[in-house]
Amino acid sequence: MSASSSAPPTGKPRFAPKPPWLKVRAPGGESYGRLKETFRELDLHTVCEEARCPNVGECWSEGTATVMLLGDVCTRGCRFCAVTTGDPRGAVDVREPEHVARAIARLGLQYVVMTMVDRDDLLDGGASHVARTVTRLRELRPDILIETLLGDFGGHLSYVDTTVDAKPHVWAHNIEVVRRLQRRIRDVRCSYEQSLAVLRRVKERDPERITKSSIMVGIGETDDEVEETLADLRGAGVDLVTIGQYLRPTPKHVAVDRFVTPETFLRFENKAKELGFAFCASAPLVRSSYKAAEVFVKSVLHPGDPDAAKKVLSERLAEAQAAAARIDGQATQANGEAPRTVSELAARAAVSLIPASSLVRRAPSEV
């Protein structure tokens, strides 16, 4: 073998080694194992697992999880996101609002984040589907806190209204990156101005609704641009913001530009406080739904009182587990026996759900 053939390849490696502050312990523990097993039994898949979130163990132990609605194929193709891009061709599981609501109701969660893929193939972008899921879960578990992490619905503000009127406790939409990087990183159908517009609309529709957004860093921005984005989000009335390190999911996605230091994240957090955000979670491993229950309790229920917030979190988790046990017991007693699957439960109520055909966006020639 020649010397040249054995030489190491030149150039940057596909994945640069991560700094020590990005290393986390593998998830585990009783709560994590119990929830993971229950999610599989109920055929309920979480974004926490599919996105390999580094905080899954922390969040699950605190009774928080994120579920995906409307399938796993997104009509948009952003350069940072590992979700499959394609054309779902109007496919919608009309049983899903009932299915997901009943499944979540039976879990000992105190806070759930409902997120979605973009569905530009649907007449309302999936807004009514999300709203029905939120409404049904609120009926089954009035104690549970609900956050919706949604798309921009193509800028159609009436669709935004549909989801706001379902009254999730937090309405979230991620601006993702700073203004200059929008066209390079996000799908062409997204825009900085459109994201700000939908966040602003939520406050116009319901001034009491808590709004939230998230920024990725380490993807090509400057620190000044991050602070500018924080100011723009606050100007749109956003209450809560998270800032976290971008990590490249595959070699096909945009490369990491830099690993932002914990000190810089702290500076971003202090800037957010100066701007008047109710709460800012800013750290390398923070994600948009990071410790969502804790963020809500600390910022909304007990701002400035960490001891009271900790007590409330513990009490709410116990209440959630008791409520879930009651729901599970009721399901077992219904009609003398428990349905064999959650889908069977959903089928009993499916007659009240709208047909998928009414959600499909058709070309004018097909109407």
Share above pLDDT 70 across residues of the chain, in percent, rounded to a whole number: 74
The larger pLDDT score, comparing residue 239 to residue 366, is at 239
Asked whether residue 74 is marked as a ligand-binding residue, the answer is: yes
Q: Which of 17-26, 74-83, 173-182, 316-325 has the highest mean pLDDT?
A: 173-182
Kindly tell me if the per-residue pLDDT of 275 is higher than 60.
yes
How far is 60 from 66, CA to CA, in rounded Å? Answer: 10
The dihedrals phi and psi of 68, each to the nearest 5 degrees, come to -100, 135
* 289 annotated ligand-binding residue: yes
Q: Which residues contact 156 (CB under 8 A, 6 or more apart)?
A: 124, 125
Residue 312 has pLDDT above 70, yes or no: yes
Q: What is the mean pLDDT of the chain?
A: 81
357 in a labelled binding site: no
Instruction: Give the integer Cα–Cα distance in Å for 218 and 298.
Output: 27
DSSP letter for 96, please.
H
Q: Choose between 296 and 258: higher pLDDT.
A: 258
Mean pLDDT value of segment 72-76:
93
For residue 154, pLDDT beyond 90: yes
Question: Are the CB atoms for 217 and 237 separated by under 8 Å?
Answer: no
Task: Write the burial class of residue 352 (CB in 10 Å: 0-12 exposed, 13-18 middle, 19+ buried).
Answer: exposed
* Average pLDDT of the residues in 133-146: 95
Please tell me which residue, 37 or 101, carries the higher pLDDT value: 101
Confidence of residue 349 (pLDDT cuts 50, 70, 90): very low
Q: Encode pLDDT of 113-129 as tens digits.
A: 899 999 999 999 999 99
The DSSP secondary-structure symbol of 176 reads B
pLDDT for 353 equals: 36
- Flag whether 53 is marked binding: yes
What pLDDT is attached to residue 346? Answer: 35
Report the C-alpha gap between 300 and 293 in whole angstroms.
10
190 annotated as belonging to a binding site for a ligand: no
Supply the pLDDT for residue 339.
40
96-105 and 306-333 helices, crossing angle to 10°: 110
Task: Answer with the residue of higher pLDDT: 187 or 64.
Answer: 187
- Show the tokens assigned to 274: 């100066």
The one-letter code for the residue type at 80 is: F
pTM of the model: 0.80
Q: What is the pLDDT of residue 116?
A: 93
